[in-house]
Structure 1
Amino acid sequence: MRLLIVEDERRLALSLAKGLTAEGYAVDVVHDGREGLHRASEGCYDLVILDIMLPGLNGYRVCAALRAAGHEVPILMLTAKDGEYDEAEGLDTGADDYLTKPFSYVVLVARVKALLRRRGQGPGASPVRTLGDLKVDTAARRVFLAADEVPFTTKEFAVLEHLVTRAGHVVSKAEILEHVWDFAYDGDPNIVEVYISTLRRKLRPDLIRTVRGAGYRLESGR
């Protein structure tokens, strides 16, 4: 999952990015409303964390512009303001949730996970994905194969999670890089092959098919 943080308080933005990266997300950070709108408009993010008080273009206008252009990416708004009017204005412009500073990091992570779960599986749906004998709990970040729990590192889980959300579809190497590694990653793109190999070893070789010249497809387990 790839997240965009649009926040002009640099220490806060970098702190959030560090914590969310440790949670297994690929995170990009910008500090200006116009740059945030430009990045978010590219359509490669699973969620945007958007401050309201921004230089260049405030969060209300960024959110409204994204919705007017047809972008449905979940938006979690942050603001130092409080009061019903501010929350109502944020939600009226198309934000999905609202968090007032100062906030608990634990609460922010819970809101992020809830928005991602809602987007991927519909309101109230279970975070557990089951494909044959493979079960992936995206909320608890646990993986089971034929009732046995399989340990994964944060990055390994992130790759598997993206394949699970696209189960049955071909996912390109570029798409995996885009959603699991951040915008600044300039290393060897073959790192994806290394992680796919690890997933196959930990799960089962036939669970992830290579579609030559196109990418990978997660099959239903037997």
Structure 2
Amino acid sequence: MDRTVHVLIVEDEEKIRQALCDFLEFKGFAVAAAADGIEARAAVEAERFDVILLDLMLPKVSGEQLCAMWRKQDIQTPIIMLTAKGREKDKVAGLNSGADDYITKPFSLEELLARVNAVLRRTDPARAVGRAFSFGGWDVDTAALRISRDGRGQTITSREASMIQYFAANPGRVVSREELYRQVWDDDMTGVETRTTDMHIAKLRGKIETDPASPQIIVTVRGAGYMYVD
């Protein structure tokens, strides 16, 4: 891992909670734990986590209620639901409340680790594509802030590097201006930022496109946003 991943474990059964804490700490994660919905809510208000492992059946405030509340507050931290319930409708309810994945007890610790890493790859571009990768025929080095092709290189800004990295992690998928702004600027779009994203896209196209007026790498999807064509 390039940096320590912070995980919140929300589980009311002490033995399970402690086992998860011990295992993930052994694997190099920074771990915080909560035994009920009230503690979990306070933890998320006080600290930023990279992923939340959330038991569905919790005292005081259920996992489903917590998940729905966080999503309503636009907290986008990946959430994996943990529950003894295995019925289809319970899985659907958990996912509909905003969970990113769902694992049914009993589960192996290695399976849980695989699901955590999978969710992190989907939500963290650096983990999905790394720091050096190919993008639209260019060799990209986000650490050095340089791109090169056919022996020709040029510098990019840190913002442009983040944009390239996010598009590279989501090939063939429409990325809205709101999503791009939230991921790259780490903030929510309020209105004027629409122009900000468009200006940065235009500058980036000027560096990577053969003909910026007719882009072939980052294309505009009218009324929806942008898409990286790999």
TM-score category by the smaller chain?
A: 0.5 to 0.7
CA distance in 1, matches of 2:141, 2:120: 23
Partner of 2:111, secondary structure, is helix
> What letter corresponds to residue 27 of structure 1 in structure 2?
V
**Unpaired segments ≥5 residues, structure 2:** 133-139, 144-161, 163-230
Q: 1:39 to 1:83 in 2, by over 3 A?
A: same
Greater RCO structure (CA 8 Å; 6+ sep): 1
RMSD across aligned positions (CA):
2.4
1:33–1:58 CA contact under 8 A, matched in 2 = yes
Partner of 2:43, secondary structure, is helix
The equivalent of 1:85 in structure 2 is 89
The equivalent of 2:119 in structure 1 is 115
- What TM-score do the two structures reach when normalised by structure 2? 0.54
2:8–2:33 CA contact under 8 A, matched in 1 = yes
Runs of 4 or more consecutive aligned structure 1 residues displaced over 4 Å after TM superposition: 131-134
**Unpaired segments ≥5 residues, structure 1:** 135-164, 166-222
CA distance in 2, matches of 1:80, 1:98: 11
2:68–2:97 CA contact under 8 A, matched in 1 = yes
Residue number among 11, 32, 56 corresponding to 1:52 in the alignment? 56
- What TM-score do the two structures reach when normalised by structure 1? 0.56
The equivalent of 1:212 in structure 2 is none
CA distance in 2, matches of 1:111, 1:22: 17
> What letter corresponds to residue 129 of structure 1 in structure 2?
R
> What letter corresponds to residue 61 of structure 1 in structure 2?
Q
- Say if 2:102 is the partner of 1:98: yes
Partner of 1:87, secondary structure, is helix
Matching of residues 21-170 of structure 1 within 5 Å? 21-121=25-125, 125-126=128-129, 128-130=130-132, 132=141
Higher Rg of the two aligned structures: 2
How many residues are treated as equivalent by the alignment? Answer: 134
